[in-house]
Amino acid sequence: MDKWTDIKERLRHLGGAVKLLADGYELTLKKAHDGKKIFVIVYVNGAVEGKWTETKDEKPVYPEGRFWRPMKRAAYRKKVYAHAKRAFGKKEADRMVTPRVVGVVPTFGTEGAVVAHLKKHFPDLEIKAEEVA
């Protein structure tokens, strides 16, 4: 079994957790819920800080943000496209409704999504050995 399948297995059940080492950071992935949704949250060195969500030119400002999910949003909804096209022209209307990264968030919808993100950006990460008390 490879490390990616092992990570998915450990996160399969609610409350599942796994510790990883990537680029000198310790990542803790935990499957949790908020009463409505089930998600996987990524802690970097045991913390989640709000300032790490900032982006500049669609890239995270802080290095800890690299481990989180990029959140894409458009400035305007698609339903205003026809009006914007008449008012501003096609090129500007296309830019207005095209989604772009506006921040990064520490939650992923599924364990597969977090594994795909880490596999793409950090292929050399390691699963941290469990300490026995």
The domain ranges of the chain are: 1-48+106-128
C-alpha span between 3 and 30 (Å, rounded): 16
Of all residues in the chain, what percent carry a pLDDT higher than 70? 96
Element (H, E) at 118: helix 111-121
Is a pLDDT exceeding 50 seen at residue 51? yes
**pLDDT (0 to 100) of residue 100:** 86
Contact 115, 6 (CB under 8 A): no
Q: Report pLDDT for 127.
A: 86
User: What percentage of the chain exceeds 90 in pLDDT?
Assistant: 53
18-30: average pLDDT: 91
Q: What is the mean pLDDT of residues 43-68?
A: 90
| pLDDT value, residue 132 | 44
- Mean pLDDT, range 16-32, rounded to an integer: 91
User: Residue 15: pLDDT band by 50, 70, 90 thresholds?
Assistant: confident
Please give the full DSSP string across 12-78, using - where no structure is assigned: SSTT-EEEEEETTEEEEEEEEE-SS-EEEEEEETTB--GGGG-EETTEESSGGGGGSEEEEE-SS-G
At 82-131, the pLDDT tens digits run 999 999 999 999 999 988 888 899 999 999 999 999 999 998 888 887 74
Q: What's the predicted TM-score (pTM) here?
A: 0.81
